[in-house]
Amino acid sequence: MKLQQLLTHLHPLVPFTEENPEITSIENDHRKVQKGSLFVCIKGYTVDGHHFAESAVKSGAVAVLAERPLELAVPVITVKDTLRAIAVLADVFYGQPTQQLHLIGITGTNGKTTTSHLIEKIFADHGQKTGLIGTMYTKIADKTIETKNTTPESLTLQKTFRQMVEEGVEMAVMEVSSHALDLGRVHRCDYDVAVFTNLTQDHLDYHKTMEEYKRAKSLLFSQLGNSFNLKKPKFAILNADDPASELFKKSTAAHVYTYGIDHPADIQAVNIEMTTTGTGFDLLVGKDKYPVHLQLLGKFSVYNVLAAISAALVSGIPVLEAIASIEKVNGVAGRFELVKAGQDFTVIVDYAHTPDSLENVLKTIEHFAKKKVFVVVGCGGDRDRTKRPLMAQIACRYATNPIFTSDNPRSEDPMAILKEMEAGVQGEDYLVIPDRKEAINYAVKQAETGDVVLIAGKGHETYQIIGNEVHDFDDRLVARGAIEER
């Protein structure tokens, strides 16, 4: 594609350069530049991509997009915001792939991964070739690829959508993080359905206030205040029980479809009954009532299921088909995952790393726990510090034996993180075991018949980040080892 052809899509229009080279790829990482690349300089959180422009030209870049004039041997096009511009260029360069997919985006503090897997399952059972982008991995038809971010930056994202189209994928479901919405990673994504799960405290290290966090989430539904034409979804699926839905409803031009438990909605779960092996409820769709038997536990799982069924219904999938698919799901990796090694107590590994998710999981456990509840929990370093005392409070409120430990301390001193957790629970009974493996071993060794051990925070993750180093660590394997050693 010619440079000028690409640039016509930017708004406001940038003046053309005299040269009009053929662009063979767009790159924002100078290490990936090849002959014919357009190099886009992005001011990151760690480094300023403008510093790599000269190296990019040496590696073969034939044009550079920047936020300031640069003295280079190739045309330099300047725009106000390269991060947003690259999203537009990526969409155009890869042939606007999202217009060729039935695209479902999910945002919310908790439940994105679970809901996206449920949706993917419904569409796959319906006979469609599916794609998925999220925290655990990216899936393009039968291929899975590791991911670094929940929502990748726009260049990777649009390239992934292109690959999906080429592989014959018809429906793609993706998690849309608030960071992605704020940083324009999903600009130009043409969503058919936008889903909201819930909004509770998280990521305040980035968004600073809950209002800002909510505003970022609202962009998926409203696109207000965006100069780079994020497309409007056709359907907005909103949680009638979450107060944040009011704002999204007011600001969206999409057709609103609601789900709920405590408030009337387009689809509603009533008569919920939980056992130790599953959850039953009646699904009200208008005047019709359908019995549903989930293998998943907890009220929060019912919300995820309602969100997934809503997305299926507005996409034209019959309700009985959607229910049949969901009833077959016996879990999502690292989400309320049971570790079974012949023991007579329950061990659960769960990704709960926000106050709300920890509370939901512990409330669910409270429902069936007959005796002691151990919770092994920590808080990540270099992330929202305000969560720390809250997580500790919730652990002490619902568990008989809370154990505070490390969870990806990153550049922070693990003991300092633990002190901030402890500040929230003065006078309460808890243990501090900074080494995560020791903490898990301790809980498993102490557990007796009928007790529950919840290992919270890391779920499916298979690493622990300490300083700059990534160490292999899998809560599920450590727990299994500890059980077998008893």
Ligand X SMILES: Nc1ncnc2c1ncn2[C@@H]1O[C@H](COP(=O)(O)OP(=O)(O)OP(=O)(O)O)[C@@H](O)[C@H]1O
Task: Determine the interface stretch with ligand UAG among 22-30, 264-272, 318-326, 415-423 (rule: CB under 6 A).
Answer: 22-30
Check residue 351 for interaction with ligand UAG (CB under 6 A): no
Check residue 214 for interaction with ligand UAG (CB under 6 A): no
Check residue 42 for interaction with ligand UAG (CB under 6 A): yes
Q: Which of residues 285-314 bind ligand UAG (CB under 6 A)?
A: none
Check residue 47 for interaction with ligand UAG (CB under 6 A): yes
Task: Determine the interface stretch with ligand X among 5-13, 21-29, 355-363, 405-413 (rule: CB under 6 A).
Answer: 355-363
Q: Which of residues 449-468 bind ligand X (CB under 6 A)?
A: 459
Contact status, residue 432 vs residue 441, Cβ threshold 8 Å: no
Is residue 215 a known part of a binding site?
no
Task: Determine the interface stretch with ligand X among 30-38, 71-79, 82-90, 107-115 (rule: CB under 6 A).
Answer: 107-115
Check residue 364 for interaction with ligand UAG (CB under 6 A): no
Is residue 407 a known part of a binding site?
yes
Is residue 22 a known part of a binding site?
no
DSSP codes joined into one string, 381-429: TTS-TTHHHHHHHHHHHH-SEEEE--S--BTS-HHHHHHHHHGGGTTS-
Task: Determine the interface stretch with ligand UAG among 62-70, 174-182, 412-420, 464-472 (rule: CB under 6 A).
Answer: 174-182
Is residue 112 a known part of a binding site?
yes
Contact status, residue 440 vs residue 455, Cβ threshold 8 Å: yes
- The amino acid at residue 29 is D
29 Cβ neighbours under 8 A, 6+ residues apart: none
Contact status, residue 94 vs residue 158, Cβ threshold 8 Å: yes
Check residue 337 for interaction with ligand X (CB under 6 A): no
Tokens for 402, please give them.
Answer: 């809370």
Residues in the chain: 486
Kindly tell me which of 114 and 154 has the beta carbon lying closer to ligand X: 114
Kindly tell me which of 77 and 443 has the beta carbon lying closer to ligand X: 443
Q: Give the residue nearest to ligand UAG (CB).
A: 44
Kindly tell me which of 110 and 279 has the beta carbon lying closer to ligand UAG: 110
Pick from 121, 126, 187, 335 the residue near ligand X by CB under 6 A: 335
Pick from 151, 239, 304, 357 the residue near ligand UAG by CB under 6 A: 151
Helix/strand/coil percent split, the chain, to 5 = 35, 25, 40
In the block, tokens 């480094």 appear at 47
CA dihedral 418→333→329→298, nearest 10 degrees, is -10
Task: Determine the interface stretch with ligand X among 6-14, 42-50, 288-296, 299-307 (rule: CB under 6 A).
Answer: 299-307
Task: Determine the interface stretch with ligand X among 84-92, 112-120, 153-161, 275-283 (rule: CB under 6 A).
Answer: 112-120
DSSP codes joined into one string, 72-96: -SS-EEE-S-HHHHHHHHHHHHTT-
Check residue 149 for interaction with ligand UAG (CB under 6 A): yes
Decide: residue 484, CB within 10 A, 0-12 exposed, 13-18 middle, 19+ buried.
Answer: exposed
Distance of alpha carbon 415 from alpha carbon 177, whole angstroms: 29
402: nearest Cα among 383, 423, 378, 366 = 378
**Contact pattern from residue 144 through residue 183 relative to ligand X, giving x for each residue in contact according to CB under 6 A and a dash for the rest:** ------x------------------------x--------
Distances (CA, A) of 301 to 258, 269, 329, 335: 16, 11, 11, 10
Distance of alpha carbon 312 from alpha carbon 320, whole angstroms: 11
Q: Which residues pair with 288 in a beta bridge?
A: 285
Angle, in degrees to the nearest 10, between helices 299-314 and 319-328: 140
If contact means CB under 5 to 8 A according to the sort of partner, which of ligand UAG, ligand X, none does residue 29 touch?
ligand UAG
Check residue 28 for interaction with ligand UAG (CB under 6 A): yes
**By the criterion CB under 6 A, which residues form the site for ligand UAG?**
28-31, 42, 44-47, 49, 52, 148-151, 153, 177, 179-180, 206
**By the criterion CB under 6 A, which residues form the site for ligand X?**
108, 110-114, 135, 150, 175, 197-198, 300, 303-304, 335, 350-352, 356-357, 360-361, 459
Residues annotated in the binding site, as ranges?
108-114, 149-151, 177, 185, 383, 407-410, 457, 461
